[in-house]
Structure 1
Amino acid sequence: MSNEIGSDFIDHSKVPKAILARQIIEQAWDLYCQLDAHGNLIYASSRFHEIMGSVPVHIEQFIEAVDVEFRLDVYKLFVHTLQTKTSSKLEFRVRGASEAYLWLECTAIPLCDEKGELIEIAFALQDRTQHKNQESHLIAMAFHDPLTGLPNRRLFKEHVHQLLKLAKRTDRMFALLYVDIDDFKIINDTMGHDVGDAFLQEFVERVQRCLRECDMFARMGGDEFTILLPAVDCQEHVEGIARRILASVEQTWEVQGHAFRSTVSMGITMYRSDHTDVTQMMKEVDIALYQVKGKGRNHYRFYSHG
């Protein structure tokens, strides 16, 4: 038995240290390369071509594959390591072999000789793409409605807050609309929640066709939605959008074998210089919406100030 074990034992003292080091490198990081002080490639791990599509011969060629937003940061990472002889990390995006972008976490490591003089810089890289995608998904879930995919109350209020700050600096007009589906509860109660959910998804598609790319449409919960119009010239412009939404919703609905009609009511407020916070604007559109509901629904009303 002891002879069999001995026959399988590898005497590592007889294996060149360079080979052992490279085996460790290949398994420790997804990508690894060494560059001299001028940025010329000295060594690149075997997976470089598989993941990146090519093996860079110089730091500039590596940077060309990096997303434009991060190129200067990668260059600064190299220079910082060169000047300080200290290790540091950076996360950035690169275009991979499949032309899709990958997220890489790079640890820049200074390699010095016996005298402490820097002779090479190592880039040890880990693929963080899956982690980043999961992180983005969690963020999307935190700020978006799962049924419709629209921004939720939390994200919407943050956008209004930012737009208020911008408007106070530029005095640029914007409008806030509060949209309530009339008698949505009847659809849910008589046709079922599956039909109700499908109706909400189609409702979102109809309303979005009435909006511009710069407008923000959000679900506040249940059958209540808000719309932010960040660039409007006058009240008539807002009225035109409100009328388009009313006309779009009034068209006959055919959802999962059910045909019916539906309407919406809207409360609207325009930005004024005395607006101080999101709560104030939300209170105004709520008052205007309540007034529409009290006068027969299926219409819109602007908040009357003063």
Structure 2
Amino acid sequence: MNLSTASAAPALPRIEEGTAPALQFELDVLPRLLLVDDEPLLLAALEDMLEGRNYHIVRASCGSEALEHLHKLKFDLVLLDLRLPDMSGHQIMDVINEKGMDVDVIVMSGDVGIDAAIGALKRGAYDYLRKPCSREELLKTVTNALAQRRLELANQRIASQLENSEKLYRYLVDSSPDLIYTLNHEGRFTFVNDRAYQLLGFTREELIGKHYSILVHDEDLERARYVFNERRVDERASRNVELRLKCHSGTDADRTFNNTLMTISLNSIGMHVPDTEVRKLEFFGTYGVARDITDRKRAEEVISYQAYHDILTDLPNRMLFKDRLGLAVIQAKRRATELAVMFIDLDRFKLVNDTLGHVKGDELLQQVALRLKECLRRGDTLARQGGDEFTIVLPELRDRDDARNIADKFLECLHKPFDLDGHEVHISASIGIAVYPVDGESIDELLRHADIAMYQVKALGKNGHAFYDRAMLDVSHQKIALEQALRRALELDELEMYYQPQIDVVTGRIVGAEGLMRWNHPQRGVLMAGEFLPFAEDNGLMLPISDWMITALCRDMQIWNAAGGQSIRLSLNLSPQYLDRGDFFEKMRGALVRYGISPAQIEVEITENICIRNPQYAIDQLNKLCQLGVSVAIDDFGTGYSSLSYLHRFPIHTIKIDQSFVKVIHDEQGHYPVILAIISIARGLGLHLIAEGVETEMQARYLKANGCMTMQGYLFHHPVSLAEFICVLEEHYPVPERNAVALGQGPA
């Protein structure tokens, strides 16, 4: 089959790829011709005359064969004889018309009557040739028929493209997420797409012919005048101009209108008609696209609000507070007035947060924020700095009493209990106050000095307020110097372990000792743990200090074991921060192995709040210690937020009665229910019991009489160094007995 293009075919316009595929196919393939005649010689002659014209030719010798070909194949042209043995050519044309076959017909007949020709033309024949016809006449007729056919197909393709293009444009415009419009030179709508109804609630009919001002918010009309009357057509045309448009949401049964506002970002360009005579552009309107950015504007407002406000309490954050404080300082300077800055830190918040969890801690902060706001004057600003810290600026201060009165109100409102889903919580606050301009003229100075005053309150027992004084700065510098010295103390080996013996009051024997840390400060002498460990906790030093403590303790135990003290059990306090660290167990086991210490000689003291904060995690960690052979004691029992439902689940061996309960014993015959309750709990759970801080014979007799047989305190021994502790052991265990103890024959 020859598929090359016929050289005689006329050039046609190029058809764009992807448009009207069926028509494209018909224009690109070789023309297919069907020759129908019952005379074989005539068929052969016809084929010879058409030879070399690049036609695909099919022959048929009767009407039924012709119809069979027409049903199977698609033809461009049929050369049809009217006289066939089984049917007439007119009948074949009737079938073609009836079936709607897209094919042209040239009738070739020897009939000289006019009726045959009229019948063929009525049935839509392209032409009528009388036999015999010349080759030139045949070729000319066939070529013209095919050319006309190709032109008709090309016109159909163009019409189809135009129709599809119009439909596509209409679809794109009406389904656009943007509002598309045109205005005439008077600013009246000549076109709006369907988005106008979806966004604004106005139908196309309600807007066409109306002036654009019916949509624009009154405050934006001036800006809209430049946009909706835009005449520029290049880069100078309006771009991304924000306007608010009125939305018509319809009416209800009472015909009550609800008008809201929408913010749009609008682009527009002028439309001009070229005037060839005067060679200028005549302005006839504006074309514009308006995008709904209401959601974006709302999101921007939310983001902007969140950037300057604390999400938890909805108070201004540090950034907004500094901005407002800066404005207040400028106004105070201009008016020559004073203002006060307060720095508030909640006392005991960390204990509540660790005990009841962060969710309850957040609820407490929210309740605190509400109470503090109720104490403020109009114009005052309360902000959350972060954590449990709040700051306040009090502008237009008449005198210091104004700030003092508000601070008293804060303390009074925080004194009332907080209800956290059934948990009654009591907190207080430490408040530092700095006054402009005497305590500082810049934002940072005022905040820093208020912070220093707040820490002074904490150092004096918390739950109060204080104005900044220059002497406080020296104390603050001392604290910084203390922190720096503490870091050096680890490197210079200035830390030392002291030991306070624990006595069995029945036998008078030492049965254990509590390890307590001391710092041999080069200038200040020996410092107790309470004087420097709070700084360590606040400055991330508890972990390295705890590592040092375990190593030092195991090293000391190796020494006193050599002196015959294997029967003595040593207890040491573990910081919650250290217990939370995943590798503390490995640190403990490694130190025991390195110094050859039996785990049975170690008892770890933890506060009960560790157990309540994350019970399951604490159980897992303490079980590891017990599997290693280390026992566990709860220190300061009864001072935290204990939950007895959890207590029996923990692998605990010892409860220590806090010295605050022991101190209140002033009468040997008195009734002290808290101590009696703790003794009963220990007895009921089968736990060992130790009383701390025993300082008088009366306290010792009361505790012994009620079932507590192990005690420690100044009545028996002060904490002593390792060398002194070994001397104490030698006094309690003479040499032969110490050897017996070493052999496992002495008292436990």
Residues 164-193 of structure 1: CA distance to partner in whole angstroms, max 9, x if unpaired? 334334445433211110121111122222
CA-CA distance at 1:208 after TM superposition = 1.6
Q: How does 1:1-306 map to 2 (within 5 A)?
A: 6=22, 11-14=160-163, 21-54=169-202, 57-64=210-217, 68=219, 70-78=220-228, 81-82=230-231, 86-89=236-239, 90-97=241-248, 99-114=259-274, 115-171=280-336, 173-212=338-377, 214-272=379-437, 275-304=440-469
Most deviating of 81-90 and 293-302:
81-90
Residue equivalent to 2:612 = none
SS in 2 for 1:117: strand
| Alignment check: 8 A CA contact 1:29 1:125 kept | no
CA-CA distance at 1:22 after TM superposition = 4.5
CA-CA distance at 1:128 after TM superposition = 1.5
CA-CA distance at 1:148 after TM superposition = 2.0
Distance 1:107 1:154, change over 3 A: same
Q: d(CA) in 1 for partners of 2:178 and 2:311?
A: 34
SS in 1 for 2:433: strand
Most deviating of 163-172 and 240-249:
163-172
CA-CA distance at 1:269 after TM superposition = 2.1
Kindly tell me the number of residue pairs found equivalent between the two proteins. 297
| Alignment check: 8 A CA contact 2:177 2:195 kept | no
Distance 1:260 1:31, change over 3 A: same
Q: Amino acid of the residue matched to residue 299 of structure 2?
A: Q
Residues 47-105 of structure 1: CA distance to partner in whole angstroms, max 9, x if unpaired? 323322335521322223x6x3x4433234345x2478742121233343454443311
Q: Amino acid of the residue matched to residue 110 of structure 1?
A: G
| Alignment check: 8 A CA contact 1:168 1:273 kept | no
Q: Unaligned stretches of 5+ in structure 1?
A: none
Aligned-pair identity in percent equals 29
Q: d(CA) in 1 for partners of 2:408 and 2:185?
A: 66
Q: Amino acid of the residue matched to residue 26 of structure 1?
A: D
| Alignment check: 8 A CA contact 2:244 2:263 kept | yes
Q: d(CA) in 1 for partners of 2:291 and 2:312?
A: 35
Residues 192-240 of structure 1: CA distance to partner in whole angstroms, max 9, x if unpaired? 2222111111111111222245332211111111112344444333333
CA-CA distance at 1:285 after TM superposition = 0.7
| Alignment check: 8 A CA contact 2:232 2:269 kept | no
| Alignment check: 8 A CA contact 1:37 1:82 kept | no
Residues 218-272 of structure 1: CA distance to partner in whole angstroms, max 9, x if unpaired? 1111111111234444433333322222221111111122112111121122332
Q: Amino acid of the residue matched to residue 161 of structure 1?
A: G
CA-CA distance at 1:12 after TM superposition = 3.1
| Alignment check: 8 A CA contact 2:216 2:246 kept | no
| Alignment check: 8 A CA contact 1:176 1:226 kept | yes
CA-CA distance at 1:286 after TM superposition = 1.2
| Alignment check: 8 A CA contact 2:332 2:396 kept | no
Q: d(CA) in 1 for partners of 2:193 and 2:173?
A: 8
Distance 1:27 1:87, change over 3 A: farther
SS in 2 for 1:198: helix
| Alignment check: 8 A CA contact 2:310 2:316 kept | yes
CA-CA distance at 1:13 after TM superposition = 1.9
Between 1 and 2, higher relative CO (CA 8 Å, sep ≥ 6) is seen in 1
Q: Amino acid of the residue matched to residue 185 of structure 2?
A: A
Distance 1:82 1:5, change over 3 A: closer
Q: d(CA) in 2 for partners of 1:23 and 1:170?
A: 65
Q: d(CA) in 2 for partners of 1:175 and 1:100?
A: 43
| Alignment check: 8 A CA contact 1:51 1:96 kept | yes
Residues 95-133 of structure 1: CA distance to partner in whole angstroms, max 9, x if unpaired? 434544433111122112223232112331111223233
Q: Amino acid of the residue matched to residue 111 of structure 1?
A: M
Q: d(CA) in 2 for partners of 1:185 and 1:230?
A: 31
For the aligned residue pairs, the C-alpha RMSD in angstroms reads: 3.1
SS in 1 for 2:413: helix
In the superposition, the TM-score normalised over structure 2's length comes to: 0.36
SS in 2 for 1:112: strand
Q: Unaligned stretches of 5+ in structure 2?
A: 1-19, 24-156, 250-258, 275-279, 472-748
Q: d(CA) in 2 for partners of 1:190 and 1:274?
A: 38
Q: Amino acid of the residue matched to residue 96 of structure 1?
A: C
Q: d(CA) in 2 for partners of 1:33 and 1:25?
A: 10
| Alignment check: 8 A CA contact 2:213 2:221 kept | no
Distance 1:112 1:167, change over 3 A: farther
Distance 1:95 1:261, change over 3 A: farther
Q: Which protein is bigger by CA-based radius of gyration?
A: 2
Q: Amino acid of the residue matched to residue 324 of structure 2?
A: H
Distance 1:197 1:62, change over 3 A: same
Q: Amino acid of the residue matched to residue 214 of structure 2?
A: Q
